[in-house]
Amino acid sequence: MEILRFLPPLLAGAWVTVQLTALAIVLGLFMGFAAGLMRVSESWPARAIAAVYVEVFRGTSALVQLFWMFFVLPHFGIHLDPFTVGWLALGLNIGSYGGEVVRGAILAVPKGQYEAATSLNMPKWLAMRRVIVPQALVNMIPPWGNLFIELLKATSLVSLITISDLTFQAKQLNDRTFQTIEIFTLVLAIYLLIALVITAVMRLLERRAGRGLARGGVR
């Protein structure tokens, strides 16, 4: 089929998209958990720092953040390659939303669990690690899955800073061949396939976390 001749460059772009998504997910998870735990900390400086991070990145456009890191940072002597800018900007952006997911899930754990941990003379950090966070984790996974799908879709923005991701490759092919229907139908299918993989992985994690919590297996 003639449409298959578009697959090699699109798959090359899809691989770049997958790499960007994976790196941004790792950064987003780290920043999200750090911000979420800091938001419920007893230390007001920690709460203030986390609040500033969350509000700045949630309150401004992901595209503007991407452009700011790509075009403005060099004026301060910070030069990053486009790929690094891409996953850093996307990871920081998604981490700000993830911080609120983590904070909300922790606050949703019944107060009785905190009291039970206190009655066992657990330090707060130990209670968070062994009692609170494992219970909150089950409720975090579905919204994190939604954030990862949003992150995947947001990777299309990096084509605007010359990264040869899936969207960039599609635009290049379309400009050369004008086979718009075939090219962008393939692109939709590839994005959908990646999203389905992310969804399947998150559902698997959700089931395992639920079973582990039911068995009391999370330590």
Which domains are delineated in the chain? 2-215 (1.10.3720.10)
Q: What is the pLDDT of residue 128?
A: 76
pTM > 0.85: yes or no: yes
For residues 131 and 121, the answer to whether their CB atoms sit within 8 Å is no
Q: What is the pLDDT of residue 1?
A: 60
Q: What is the pLDDT of residue 2?
A: 65
Q: What is the pLDDT of residue 217?
A: 45
Low-confidence ranges of the chain (pLDDT < 50): 217-219
Q: For 46-90, how does the pLDDT look when each residue is reduced to its tens digit (9 = 90+)?
A: 999 999 999 999 999 999 999 999 999 999 999 999 999 999 999
Q: What is the pLDDT of residue 134?
A: 80
Q: What is the pLDDT of residue 214?
A: 57
